Chains A and B, each alone.
Chain A
Amino acid sequence: MNLIVIGVNHQTAPIEVREQFAIPEARLPEAVKLLASQPGIEEAMIVSTCNRVEVIARARDAQANLHDCLEKLYGFDPQPYRKYLYEYRERDAVRHVFRVASSLDSMVVGEPQILGQVKEAYATARAVGAVNSQLDALYARAFAVAKRVRTETAIASSAVSIASVAVELAKKIFGNLEGKSVYLVGAGKMCELAARHLLAHGANKIYVGNRTYERAAALAMKFNGEPIAFDQLYDTVDRADIVISSTGAPHTIFRREHGERFLARRKNRPMFFIDIAVPRDVDPEMNKVDGIFVYDIDDLQQVVSSHISDRRAEADRAEAIVQLEVDKFHARLQTIDVVPTIVSLQEHLETVRQAEIDRVRGRLGSLTPEQELAVEALSRGIINKIMHTPITTLKSAARESSESTTVIELVRKLFNLRDAHRPETDEASAAISAKSGGRR
């Protein structure tokens, strides 16, 4: 199916690089559209979260190179970042897509947010028409796999989200969160989640600062908190012990000098900045101020890594499920690829056989029904004997993704099979996605 995944994630690239590739939510539809309209790209979607930015595309030919598309998309040459980029094709790409949706590739393995984020990315791509036939089938399956992993393993039950890691760190600093106050900068979902966790652990006062005051007010109301106009941000942030920042601002909001001012006003009582924005909201320099602790999304990962080992066993089970599903999906896809060739090969030889029988019939004279049957059986037998090896080869080649295209091409060339376009493919994949309870 010529599937390609290319991207950066929390494992391959530091936050500085991910910042370069991040695509803000508002720009996403336009970006997906642009990507899907590139020559050689049949379908495409983009998943852009704080931990990963990746392009999933189906290309017209197997050797397609997405780097040019990336350059178009970002307006800069991605070449210098090559070492941070991962690229998967075909079977590996399917596996990657399944793993991401199942939260096995997440910073916090098993965290539930990623599935929602992928679903949103998928919906966005569908809405602009960048996804139609095959990626549809792929994602329908991916969501089913994610659900299976969730229900069949305990990976999600002990999921530690970013939010609970934030709570854990806050406790390392403040001990008890009783009576501590929290300032949310930006009214995003992650902010909200983290705030909910902190409140559950004793924090009792929430401030919300957001560029649009209405959103701040709406979020503040949920927590019985206090909305604050964005232009008063620097005068009010020091009221809070814990600041969670997740704005979409392209540059830092809090710099070192701000931190020094906050601390002076707070009589040096410590402050904890949790920066879950990509690009970052808090200048890393601020961590150097005495009494200020800044954790960005990558730092949270470090903390999280210690928890990951606890879930290793469950993750292994989940990986096994994913592997099984990849095999199933791939086998189906490949059979779809190879079936038309086999059918046309059979049809082709059948025509040849019929033509030959018709040609010699005159010379054979009148035949008894037994003789008629014998001729039929003879010709059929020869064809089946000859066909046996090519068909087996085709079928086994279907299981070896690297070979299938070459073998199919070769067979087509050898027998001069001309129906290059195979309309059955789309129908067949549609059938698959319908069968898997997809979102069509």
Chain B
Amino acid sequence: MPLIWLRVAVAFYAVGLLYSLLLLGKKGNLLAKVVEPAVGLGLIFHFVSLVEYTVLIGRLSWASIHYSESLLAFVAMVVFFIFFVGYRTTSPGIVIFPVVFILTFASAMGQKPVTFESPALRSSWIFVHVMMIFTGYAGLFLSFGASLLYLMQERALKAKSTDGLLSKLPPLQTIDEICYNSLLFGFPFMTFGLIAGSVLAITKYGPYFFTDPKILLSFIMWIVYLLLLYTRWSSGWRGRRAALLATFAFVIALGVWAANSLSRVHRFPQL
């Protein structure tokens, strides 16, 4: 059953994906009215799927890459909706929707019952660690998406073209606020998530865990995250430079995700 709910959610997220693509093709008006309820419904089905899955297995199952994908997508959507309520704009969805769609799609297509079980994963520390890291990711994704929008809007304003995207995107300052606030929102989660992870790892593996590629990348990502905030505080970086930095952080985040396959201490089970 949870798989069916997840696939229903994927179908709804597909509306979001289509909306993003159409918006880039400058024909977004068609779906503008249905996109909010669609992804909202998607989110509900997604939630049902996650809960049911958890109940079925009897615990949260980080060990499955598909479960993690699904969870990360879910958290990203929740953060998106938090900002949607605040700013009443679906524009960051242009970036968030495709990411969420890909994550849930991969999860829905590849999901199998999980048999792997590690006692280490039972700890509630793990729960804290994963949820916080994922929320941090979600903030970073949203900020990355918004910074791309900022670039688009900035370019449109400078090129003085009034049609197309410019008329649909929110004002520059609103995008900028989303960009910054989602970073601010995600940063403490990311920080405490990493601390929780480190505490866990030190107690389990000793100090050597630091040489693990996944862990190293995670810390680099955290530093870039910090750098993003710092340049913003100190000299108000936004626009092109901030977008470049955010893209960098996003790429590292993808690397961190992918590094699971290289990691000794942080590996999804082979299915």
Contacts and interface: CB of A to CB of B under 8 A. Distances in A.
Interface of A: 169, 171-176, 266-270, 287-288, 290-291, 293, 295, 299, 302-303, 306
B157 interface: yes
A298 to B, nearest CB: 9
Interface residues of B, number: 21
A175 B88 CA distance: 13
Interface of B: 153-154, 157-158, 160-163, 166, 170-174, 235-241
Contact of A290 (B160, B174, B240): B240
10 contacts: A173-B157, A173-B171, A173-B172, A174-B171, A268-B239, A287-B158, A291-B239, A295-B160, A299-B160, A302-B162
Nearest to A175: B171
Contacts of B174: 175
Most central of B153, B157, B163 by chain A CB within 10 Å: B157
Pick from B154, B160, B238, B241 the residue with the most CB of A within 10 Å.
B160
Nearest to A241: B173
Given A173-B157, A302-B160, A268 B172 contact: no
Contacts of B158: 287-288, 293
Given A172-B166, A290-B240, A270 B160 contact: no
A143 to B, nearest CB: 34
A254 B241 CA distance: 24
A306 B239 contact: no
B266 to A, nearest CB: 38
A174 B176 CA distance: 10
Contacts of B238: 268, 291
Contacts of A299: 160
Contact of B163 (A266, A290, A306): A306
Given A174-B173, A268-B235, 14 more contacts: A171-B171, A172-B157, A173-B172, A174-B172, A175-B171, A175-B172, A267-B235, A268-B239, A269-B236, A270-B172, A291-B238, A302-B161, A302-B162, A306-B163
A287 B162 CA distance: 16
Contact of B237 (A171, A172, A173, A268): A268
Nearest to B176: A270
A86 B174 CA distance: 45
B172 A172 contact: yes
Contacts of B166: 172
Nearest to B153: A172
B166 to A, nearest CB: 7
Nearest to A299: B160
A303 B241 contact: no
Contact of B239 (A171, A176, A288, A290): A290
A54 to B, nearest CB: 26
B173 A175 contact: yes
Nearest to A304: B162
B89 to A, nearest CB: 10
A246 B235 CA distance: 31
Contact of B160 (A176, A269, A303): A303
List 5 tightest A-B contacts by C-beta distance, closest first. Answer: A267-B236, A175-B171, A268-B236, A175-B173, A299-B160
A172 B171 contact: yes
Contact of B241 (A174, A175, A290, A295): A290
Nearest to A287: B158
Contacts of B160: 295, 299, 302-303
A309 to B, nearest CB: 12
A306 B161 CA distance: 11
Contacts of B173: 173-176, 270
A288 B162 CA distance: 18
A270 B173 CA distance: 9
A299 B161 CA distance: 9
A303 B170 CA distance: 17
A175 B178 CA distance: 13
Contacts of B172: 172-175, 270
Nearest to B163: A306
Nearest to A298: B160
Query: Which of B163, B170, B172, B238 gathers most chain A CB within 10 Å?
Result: B172
A291 B173 CA distance: 11
Given A173-B171, A173-B172, A175-B174, A303 B236 contact: no
Contacts of B241: 290
Nearest to B170: A175
B88 to A, nearest CB: 11
Nearest to A291: B239
Nearest to A302: B160
Contacts of B236: 266-269
A172 B156 CA distance: 11
B152 to A, nearest CB: 13
A1 B158 CA distance: 48
Nearest to A296: B160
